[in-house]
C-alpha cells in the first residue's frame, strides 16, 4: 500500500472510532435519537427535578388525631413531558409511581423521606402526549390528590417518585437513561403544629396554675446575674436571672402531671428584645422529652411584658423545658427570665 493511501485509511479509521465514542456518550444534547424527559425547577434543599409542597397539621380539637390547618398541595399535581427535539409523529409517554426509588434516594443522600400512605395520591394511568412537530406534551402527567386525607400525614417528609417508563412508538424515540431527568419527585414536608400561633391570653385554654410553691426550676447555663433572688416561680416580675450567652434553658418540675395548655414567660417590657425563638419540650418522666414546637418571636403574642406560648389542645406533662434564643444584637441586659407560668385544664 502506498503511503498516501495508508494515510487516508488511517484518517477514516480514526473518524469511525471518534464517531463511536461520541455516540456512546450521547444522551440529550446532540443525540441523534429523540429522548423524552421531565425538567421541573426544584427549590431549597429539595431533590433535583422535583415539585415541593407543604402541609401544616394541628391537633383535632374535637377528637383524637390531626386536622389540616393549611397546605400548598392542589387537587391535582401536573407536569409536562418534554422531547430533546420535535417529534415526527404523535407519541404518548407513560409513567408510574416507583416507591422503590424512595429508599434508594435516602441511601444516596442521607435523607429520611417516607412513601405516601394509601389514600393520598392517585397515580394510576399516568401518561402525556406529544403531538407531531412539538417537543412538549399538550397535556400533563397528572396525579390527583385526596386533600381531605392530608391529616393522615404524620411523618416530617414524604416522597413520590414518578418515573417515565415507556413510549407508545419506540421508533419515535426513547426515555432518557439519565435518572435525574427520567424521574420527577413529588415532595411534601409536614409540620405537626401543636402551638397556636399569635394566640392571645384571652384565647388560652384552662387557667394559670396559681400554686407553684412546690415547683423547682433549674437554669442552664448558670445565670451570670441574679436579681431579687432570681426565682422564675415567685410571682414577681422584678426578680430575674440573666444570661450572657444565648440560648438560655429553663427546666421546671411541677411535681405532678398536669394537663398543660400553654406557658407564658416574662422577659422584658419591650417586645423588640423578647426571645427571637422559643423551643418547647414536655415530659412526664423527666427523661423522655417531646418537642412541642419552636415558634419564632413573630409567631407569639406579647402583652404587658408576657410572651404567650399557647397550645391547641392540652398535653399531659410533669416537666417543662424552654430553650430561649436571643438575637446577637440583644444586649446581655435583656437576656433574662423573670417569670415562667403554666396554663392547664
What range defines the domain where residue 156 resides?
A: 27-193
CATH code where residue 36 lies: 2.60.40.1510
Closest CA relative to residue 320, chosen from 246, 242, 266, 265: 265
Same domain, 210 and 229: yes
For all residues of the chain together, what is the average pLDDT?
Answer: 90
pLDDT in tens, 206-263: 999 999 999 999 999 999 889 988 999 999 999 999 998 899 999 999 999 999 999 9
Which of 174, 193, 212 is the last residue in one of the domains? Answer: 193
Residue 18 included in any domain: no
Tell me the β-bridge partners of 341. 264
Same domain, 163 and 238: no
Contact 209, 191 (CB under 8 A): no
Q: What is the pLDDT of residue 30?
A: 56
Query: For residue 278, what is its C-alpha cell?
Result: 422559643
Same domain, 332 and 230: yes
Helix (H), strand (E) at residue 105:
helix 100-109
- What number is the average pLDDT over the span 266-272? 89
Q: What is the pLDDT of residue 146?
A: 98
Residue 226 included in any domain: yes
Same domain, 161 and 45: yes
Number of separate domains in the chain: 2
**Cβ-based burial of 140 (10 A; exposed 0-12, middle 13-18, buried ≥19):** middle
Q: What is the pLDDT of residue 107?
A: 97
**Cβ-based burial of 162 (10 A; exposed 0-12, middle 13-18, buried ≥19):** buried
- What number is the average pLDDT over the span 67-96? 97
pLDDT in tens, 3-30: 444 443 444 444 444 444 333 333 555 5
Tell me: pLDDT of 340 over 80: yes
Same domain, 188 and 258: no
> Please, which pLDDT band fits residue 44 given cuts at 50, 70 and 90?
confident
Q: What is the pLDDT of residue 43?
A: 78
Which of 169, 193, 217 is the last residue in one of the domains? Answer: 193
Residue 230 included in any domain: yes
Which of 193, 224, 248 is the last residue in one of the domains? Answer: 193
Query: For residue 254, what is its C-alpha cell?
Result: 411541677
Residue 187 included in any domain: yes
CATH code where residue 317 lies: 2.60.120.260
Query: For residue 209, what is its C-alpha cell?
Result: 396554675
Contact 87, 61 (CB under 8 A): no
What distance in Å separates the CA atoms of residue 281 and residue 318, rounded to the nearest whole number? Answer: 11
Query: For residue 159, what is its C-alpha cell?
Result: 416522597
Same domain, 334 and 293: yes
Same domain, 39 and 170: yes
Q: How many CB atoms lie within 10 A of CB 201?
A: 15
Q: What is the pLDDT of residue 272?
A: 87
Tell me the β-bridge partners of 222. none
**Cβ-based burial of 19 (10 A; exposed 0-12, middle 13-18, buried ≥19):** exposed
Residue 13 included in any domain: no
Residue 96 included in any domain: yes
Same domain, 200 and 295: yes
Contact 54, 186 (CB under 8 A): no
Tell me: pLDDT of 307 over 60: yes
DSSP code of residue 24: H
Residue 321 included in any domain: yes
What distance in Å separates the CA atoms of residue 113 and residue 188, rounded to the nearest whole number? Answer: 9
Same domain, 338 and 204: yes
DSSP code of residue 179: H
Q: How many CB atoms lie within 10 A of CB 9?
A: 11
Contact 250, 319 (CB under 8 A): no
Same domain, 331 and 301: yes
Residue 304 included in any domain: yes
Same domain, 305 and 202: yes
Main-chain phi, psi angles of 87, to 5 degrees: -85, 150
Q: What is the pLDDT of residue 23?
A: 36
Q: How far is CA 222 from the centre of its chain?
A: 34
Same domain, 146 and 270: no
More reliable by pLDDT, 196 or 5: 196
Amino acid at each position: 500500500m502506498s503511503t498516501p493511501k495508508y494515510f487516508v485509511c488511517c484518517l477514516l479509521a480514526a473518524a469511525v472510532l471518534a464517531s463511536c465514542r461520541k455516540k456512546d456518550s450521547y444522551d440529550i444534547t446532540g443525540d441523534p435519537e429523540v429522548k423524552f424527559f421531565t425538567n421541573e425547577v426544584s427549590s431549597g434543599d429539595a431533590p433535583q427535578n422535583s415539585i415541593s409542597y407543604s402541609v401544616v397539621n394541628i391537633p383535632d380539637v374535637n377528637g383524637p388525631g390531626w386536622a389540616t390547618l393549611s397546605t400548598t398541595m392542589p387537587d391535582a399535581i401536573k407536569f409536562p413531558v418534554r422531547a430533546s427535539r420535535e417529534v415526527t409523529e404523535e407519541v404518548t409517554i407513560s409513567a408510574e409511581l416507583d416507591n422503590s426509588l424512595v429508599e434508594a434516594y435516602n441511601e444516596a443522600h442521607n435523607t429520611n423521606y417516607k412513601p405516601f400512605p394509601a389514600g393520598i395520591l392517585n397515580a394510576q394511568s399516568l401518561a402525556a402526549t406529544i403531538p407531531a412537530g412539538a417537543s412538549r406534551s399538550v397535556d400533563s402527567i397528572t396525579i390527583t390528590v385526596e386533600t381531605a386525607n392530608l391529616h393522615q400525614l404524620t411523618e416530617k417528609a414524604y416522597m413520590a417518585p414518578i418515573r417515565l417508563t415507556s413510549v407508545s412508538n419506540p421508533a419515535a424515540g426513547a426515555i432518557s437513561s439519565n435518572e435525574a431527568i427520567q424521574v420527577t419527585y413529588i415532595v411534601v414536608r409536614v409540620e405537626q403544629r401543636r402551638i397556636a400561633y399569635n394566640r392571645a391570653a384571652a384565647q388560652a385554654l384552662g387557667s394559670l396554675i396559681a400554686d407553684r410553691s412546690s415547683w423547682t426550676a433549674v437554669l442552664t447555663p448558670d445565670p451570670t446575674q441574679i436579681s431579687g433572688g432570681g426565682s422564675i416561680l415567685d410571682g414577681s416580675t422584678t426578680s430575674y436571672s440573666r444570661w450572657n450567652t444565648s440560648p438560655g434553658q429553663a427546666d421546671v418540675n411541677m411535681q405532678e402531671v398536669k394537663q398543660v395548655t400553654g406557658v407564658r414567660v416574662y422577659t422584658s417590657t419591650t417586645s423588640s428584645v423578647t426571645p427571637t425563638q422559643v423551643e418547647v419540650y414536655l415530659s412526664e418522666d423527666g427523661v423522655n422529652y417531646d418537642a412541642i414546637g419552636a415558634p419564632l418571636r413573630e409567631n407569639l403574642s406579647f402583652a404587658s411584658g408576657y410572651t404567650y406560648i399557647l397550645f391547641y389542645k392540652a398535653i399531659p406533662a410533669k416537666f417543662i423545658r424552654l430553650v430561649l434564643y436571643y438575637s446577637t444584637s440583644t444586649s446581655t441586659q435583656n437576656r433574662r427570665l423573670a417569670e415562667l407560668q403554666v396554663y392547664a385544664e
